[in-house]
Amino acid sequence: MKTNTKIVSDKIKAHILKDMTLEDLKANVKALQWGNKTEYQALKELVEGGSFLCYHSDVKDFLNTLDINPKNKEYSDDESWTLYINLLAMNGEKLLKL
């Protein structure tokens, strides 16, 4: 499962920007950066708080669109949710650098 390819990264960035503008993303992250939180930690909190997908079935459907599971292995809701949070935080951090 390769999640760090440019194709996957571009799809995740597009997913983020579908739900909010870059300016809104920056403002939301800044608002969550209290107590010396990093951008990554603030982004994780943003995703966990429901700013993007929040239903397990929607998260799994989105992850399937990334073509990162060629063997169609079944992952638990928790595994899928954790992967989704981390992918959005990692790629959201890259968007903030633009």
pLDDT tens for the chain, 98 residues long, are 688 899 999 999 999 999 999 999 999 999 999 999 999 999 999 999 999 999 999 999 999 999 999 888 999 999 999 999 999 999 999 999 98
Give Cα 31 distance to the centre of its chain. 18
Residue 4: predicted pLDDT: 86
36 in any annotated domain = yes
Cβ(37)–Cβ(58) under 8 Å? no
Residue 16: predicted pLDDT: 97
Number of domains comprising the chain: 1
CA distance 94 to 81: 20
Cβ(91)–Cβ(13) under 8 Å? yes
21 in any annotated domain = yes
70 in any annotated domain = yes
Residue 1: predicted pLDDT: 64
DSSP state for residue 97 in the 8-state scheme: T
CA distance 81 to 86: 9
1 in any annotated domain = no
Range of the domain at 60: 6-96
63 in any annotated domain = yes
Q: Read off the tokens for 3.
A: 């999640």
